Structure formats: C-alpha cells, structure tokens
Amino acid sequence: MVKYLKQNVVLIFFRAKQGALIIFFGTYSIKKRLSMAHGLKKASETQALPALLEDMNV
C-alpha cells in the first residue's frame, strides 16, 4: 500500500514537472517569436532589412 502510494506521488510530481516545462517552453517560444517579429518589423521600418538580405545573397 505504501509502495503504491509512493509510486503515485512520484508519478503525479513527474507529470506536474513535465506540464510546467511544457508551459514554460511554450511561453518562451511565443515570446521569442513575438520579439523576432517585432525586430523584423522595426528593421524593415528603418530600411535595414533589404540591405541585410542583399548581404546574405552575396
């Protein structure tokens, strides 16, 4: 009985940890994507993006 209970607690803890990691990485990737999109928007506003793309093609 105690062993079974211990197993369940470990399983619940592991699942909670897994869920927290998924939430953390999900929000992190969304923030990263938003900041990248914002950065590209800023760069295109200052006309730095076309020059950057030309440099990449060379």
What is the average pLDDT across 16-27? Answer: 82
Domain residue spans of the chain: 2-57
Q: Shortest CA distance to 53 belongs to which of 43, 22, 21? A: 43
Q: How far is CA 9 from CA 17, 19, 21, 40, 42, in A?
A: 12, 15, 18, 46, 49
**pLDDT for 53:** 59
Higher pLDDT, 50 or 15: 15
**Cα–Cα distance measured from residue 42 to residue 55, given in angstroms and rounded to the nearest whole number:** 18
**pLDDT band of 24, cuts 50, 70, 90:** confident
